[in-house]
Structure 1
Amino acid sequence: MARFIFITGGVVSSLGKGLMAASLASLLQARGYKVRIRKFDPYLNVDPGTMSPYQHGEVYVTDDGAETDLDLGHYERFTGVSARQSDNITSGRVYRDIIARERRGDYLGATVQVIPHVTDAIKQFALADQDGHDFILCEIGGTVGDIESLPFMEAIRQLRNELEPLQTLSVHVTLVPYIAAAGELKTKPTQHSVRELASLGIKPDVLLCRAEHPIPDAERQKIANFCNVRREAVIPALDAPSIYSVPLQYHAEGLDAEVLRGFGITDAPPPDLSAWNDVTDRYFNPEGEVTIGVVGKYVGLPDAYKSLNEALVHGGLANRVKVNIKWIDAEIFEGEDEGEIVSQLEPMHGILVPGGFGERGSEGKIASVRFARERKVPFFGICLGMQMACIESARAAGFAEASSTEFGETREPVVGIITEWMSEEGLQQREEGGDLGGTMRLGAYEAKLSANSHTASMYGGATSISERHRHRYEVNSAYIEPLEKQGLVFAGMSPDGLLPEIVERPDHPWFVGVQFHPELKSKPFDPHPLFAGFIAAALEQSRLV
């Protein structure tokens, strides 16, 4: 029988519910329990796939092809449990499915309402695919009081009544602000947030109180009194020096013990935190440092490249070095000023061009590839970054008008839209002018590696790998031969040999481009081999300059 932990937030957004859910799940997992985490998003988009990175941050992609909230990336990185389609739901998806059923006549003429139809759909989502898990953590997006989240709150209230008394638990994340002018921590926002939650019929069992200053025992007792919880259930959550410190910090404050107590579990085994101790030791005690220049188009919002940022950190952990990331707007390289490119990129020990969509910044990315190729600086191209590497090589080979059809008509379509490809489900087909949402090559696909390639060696000699994709444009296989004559080796291809997956340069210290997104599978205790290899090459570069 799975136990359910419902995680809500109040006072303000961005309190770190996702990180809290991931940390709590990892602590329960460290005690030997099987966990799964789910995210309820109240917005009306069916999924975040068509949302601007500036609006929502990155889109996280699962093995089964779901475009999901970036919090699922935290869940995977902290627990190692692969997320899937059934772990993220939005109001838009709920309403889309209900309206489709109504149009088919599935409700037999009944009036379709928020209660019971919407709330029932949310409950079904929460209860689905339990797979023998001990704990299922459900994070509700937004804050208490949001109009959009009311159906989710009502569904939680109903579930807490319908399931067994010791089968559910509510954790509420709130803010305890420090007012500098008064020199005091203020508990009133937390009190009001809990009162708002109680007005919806949900009594929190545990309060996680975010604060910039330590919360004295007297204030914890005050919160407990006014919010009707035990003092031990008021868990301080101070700002941490690293997100990878958070599980250890929450354990020290007694979060996992209090949650287990709420379920009546008093004989749980102690957690094995050795993996987290090793991660934090490597993070806080590096033996060197490197600087990586990430040349992208969404650099104004770090969350747009959240998994990429963490994967670079993981590469540093693998090599026990600190990774300094310099975010560089690709558009600043769009002009003719070669000096700007040199001044920005010359101090870098490695250059990474990440994925993205659209023409803006593309010429700046191509200029970055050229700099890395000519100066022999370690280069890593991901998705669009690999495509830019192929276009740059084509131009170097004499195809002056080489470009991508994504950017408009071109006489040399080195990169073009893909309208059909093979998957485990069979032939997939898309129309060039069709819907944008959910129509890309999404999820895990196999790639065959050249046995003697540099990339294969980083994968431990593997000849077949599975990585996650999110793109609708591919490198045109008609250009493989001229590109290989220019020195670019196609080291990985789709199983049918039609779609390029990996390129590399044997004449370069470290030059790799991949069509997939390896950052989505990297974890602090299991860094992705490509990021570990890239940072190792950057470390070697740092010793040469």
Structure 2
Amino acid sequence: MTKFIFVTGGVVSSLGKGIAAASLASVLEARGLKVTMTKMDPYINVDPGTMSPFEHGEVFVTEDGAETDLDLGYYERFLRRSKMSKANNFTSGRIYQTVLAKERRGDYLGKTVQVVPHITDEIQNRILASGEGYDVAMIEIGGTVGDIESLPFMEAVRQLLVKLGRENAMLMHLTLLPYINSAKELKTKPTQHSVKELLSIGIQPDILVCRTEHDVDEDTRRKIAMFTNVPERAVAVCKDARSIYEIPRTFYEQNVDDLVCERFGFELPEADLSDWDKVIDGLFNAQGEIVVAMVGKYVELPDAYKSVNEALLHAGIANKVKVKIHYIDAEKLESDDGLMDELKLCHAVLVPGGFGERGTQGKMMAIRHARENGVPYLGICLGMQLAVIEFAKNVLKLDANSTEFDRKTPNPIIGLITEWFDEKGDLQVRTLESDLGGTMRLGAQEANLVAGSKLAHIYGATTISERHRHRYEMNGRYIEALENAGMKISGYSAKQHLVETIELNDHPFFVAVQYHPEFTSSPRGGHPLFNAFIGAATLQKA
């Protein structure tokens, strides 16, 4: 039977519940357990797919095409053997949508539909389903204890803790130990009140993880334990670390994984965290520094590009160099010569994915600089589409654009796709500027890389699988003209033969892809495309 560890947070938000949960999960996995993780978000949006990055940060895409919370990216980066799916993230909006659909169908036989039991039952069903087939399921509850929005989740967890029993379920609570500088001491009262809030709901935490900027002495631990009914050995201290990738060892050294194994009756060998030690060694013993210009329109909020940031960090580890990201506002770049001077000082240029026209001219200015000056360039999703448009404008001298930005462009080199069957019954695909529909390509899809291409060399394969999140595609009618001018179309989708990758023949490293490789990068090995990008920048700098 699957064992469940519920993870809650108190005192303030943004304490790092997702990282704490993922770190403990990685230690349990290192002991031989099969672990999965689920995030429950209390907001009413059905999913974060339509939310602004300024509101919620990046949208992480799973292999099965679910648009999910960015915490699922942390889950995948910390776990080796588990991939997230649509079952691993759900919101209050999704729960209410499901319950209301059942009510409209008459599934409740005319009964009054209420938060308890109907909403809480639906939450419990999803929690249990997400853990099927695993030894341990970590369930993170978004928000902070005491929030009105999260009360249905808390009640569902309270009921599950009773139903499953102590031998099958436990709860880890993350709190803050603030330091009062004038008094020169840590204060435990916020933690006490946070646990008291949990107790008022009917939940007793089994493990406390106390976030702090300072060392915590044994007297303080004992005080916390005494006033929260938590054993002293179950009060873990998580001091601010140099890197989130140090947290697994922090938990291991405080025997948090032993508490879990003892509670659930697991008899397992000690965790081998040597791979995490290698990550930390690569991170803090790097030789030299590479500065990557990331040109986007959400640069004020780095969380909007969280997976890209992490993938660059991983590539630095793989190449034994420190990667510094220099964020450049694409919209401001269009009129600020000083920003262009900053761009020219960077060793590489990356244009990430995005939606909408704002900032596209600035992004194409950065792309042109990289193309004409031999600066390593990596374009992702919109970064590929804009690379194609820039090339068509400045090399082919076409008045070209994407129908996303100009419905009446005379050369719709990027547009929505239309599918139809020809007289032989074969599926055909074309891009039309008049197309008002369009279905977003989401999730993992196979692509075929052209043998002998730079991309095929980077991957060491001609068939790959990568995750997508986009609606617009490159128009196949322009492939011949582009290739005659020196742009190689080096990859096509296996199913629809849509353009997946482009590269320049006479450039040290100019590669752009329609998919999102950042979603599958890992600190333990990186991603081949990001590794090659940073490797090329390192060579150029040398």
* TM-score > 0.5 by shorter chain: yes
Distance in 2 separating the partners of 1:401 and 1:363? 14
2:84 corresponds in structure 1 to 83
Letter in 1 for 2:257: D
1:242 corresponds in structure 2 to 243
The unaligned stretches of length 5 or more in structure 1 are: none
Deviations 1:361-401 (A, max 9, x none): 00000011100000000000000000010001101234442
Distance in 2 separating the partners of 1:91 and 1:181? 42
1:179 corresponds in structure 2 to 180
Letter in 2 for 1:325: I
Distance in 2 separating the partners of 1:36 and 1:382? 29
Going from structure 1 to structure 2, the CA distance change for 1:16 and 1:113 (only over 3 Å counts) comes to same
Cα shift at 1:164: 3.1
Distance in 1 separating the partners of 2:419 and 2:234? 54
1:482 and 2:477 equivalent? no
Distance in 1 separating the partners of 2:327 and 2:307? 14
Cα shift at 1:250: 1.8
Equivalent residue runs for 1:398-413 within 5 Å: 398-409=396-407, 410-413=409-412
2:465 corresponds in structure 1 to 466
Letter in 2 for 1:309: N
Equivalent residue runs for 1:131-530 within 5 Å: 131-265=132-266, 267-335=267-335, 339-340=337-338, 342-409=340-407, 410-420=409-419, 440-460=440-460, 462-496=461-495, 498-530=497-529
Going from structure 1 to structure 2, the CA distance change for 1:136 and 1:402 (only over 3 Å counts) comes to same
Going from structure 1 to structure 2, the CA distance change for 1:71 and 1:428 (only over 3 Å counts) comes to farther
1:122 and 2:120 equivalent? no
SS of the residue corresponding to residue 363 of structure 1 reads helix
Cα shift at 1:408: 2.6
SS of the residue corresponding to residue 509 of structure 1 reads coil
Question: What is the root-mean-square deviation of aligned Cα atoms in Å?
Answer: 2.0
2:538 corresponds in structure 1 to 539
Letter in 1 for 2:371: R
1:67 corresponds in structure 2 to 67
Deviations 1:264-319 (A, max 9, x none): 44x43100111111111111111222111100111000100000000001111111
Cα shift at 1:342: 4.1
Deviations 1:204-250 (A, max 9, x none): 00000000111111111001000001111110010000111111122
Deviations 1:110-142 (A, max 9, x none): 111111110000000010153431110000000
Point out 4+ residue stretches in structure 1 off by more than 4 angstroms: 419-422, 426-429, 431-434
Could you tell me whether the CA contact under 8 Å between 1:60 and 1:69 is conserved in 2? yes
Going from structure 1 to structure 2, the CA distance change for 1:497 and 1:112 (only over 3 Å counts) comes to closer
Letter in 1 for 2:506: D
Cα shift at 1:421: 9.5
Could you tell me whether the CA contact under 8 Å between 2:331 and 2:362 is conserved in 1? yes
SS of the residue corresponding to residue 502 of structure 1 reads strand
Cα shift at 1:184: 1.1
SS of the residue corresponding to residue 294 of structure 1 reads strand
Distance in 1 separating the partners of 2:198 and 2:410? 60
Distance in 1 separating the partners of 2:256 and 2:420? 47
SS of the residue corresponding to residue 270 of structure 2 reads coil
Deviations 1:398-456 (A, max 9, x none): 4442111111322221111235599xxx9999x9667x9xx521001111100110000
Could you tell me whether the CA contact under 8 Å between 2:448 and 2:494 is conserved in 1? yes
The unaligned stretches of length 5 or more in structure 2 are: 422-426
1:46 corresponds in structure 2 to 46
Distance in 1 separating the partners of 2:41 and 2:340? 43
Letter in 1 for 2:139: C
SS of the residue corresponding to residue 327 of structure 1 reads strand
Letter in 2 for 1:155: A
2:424 corresponds in structure 1 to none
Cα shift at 1:506: 1.5
SS of the residue corresponding to residue 77 of structure 2 reads helix
Cα shift at 1:183: 1.1
Distance in 2 separating the partners of 1:94 and 1:479? 45
Going from structure 1 to structure 2, the CA distance change for 1:109 and 1:119 (only over 3 Å counts) comes to same
Could you tell me whether the CA contact under 8 Å between 1:330 and 1:361 is conserved in 2? yes
Letter in 2 for 1:21: A
Distance in 1 separating the partners of 2:323 and 2:258? 34
Deviations 1:71-120 (A, max 9, x none): 00000000022100100010000111111111111111111111111000
Going from structure 1 to structure 2, the CA distance change for 1:294 and 1:194 (only over 3 Å counts) comes to same
Deviates more, 1:50-59 or 1:243-252: 243-252
SS of the residue corresponding to residue 404 of structure 2 reads helix
The two structures have a TM-score, normalised by structure 1, of 0.95
SS of the residue corresponding to residue 112 of structure 1 reads coil
SS of the residue corresponding to residue 126 of structure 1 reads helix
2:30 corresponds in structure 1 to 30
Could you tell me whether the CA contact under 8 Å between 1:379 and 1:512 is conserved in 2? yes
SS of the residue corresponding to residue 407 of structure 1 reads coil
Letter in 2 for 1:379: Y
Could you tell me whether the CA contact under 8 Å between 2:9 and 2:175 is conserved in 1? yes
Distance in 1 separating the partners of 2:429 and 2:158? 41
Cα shift at 1:11: 0.5
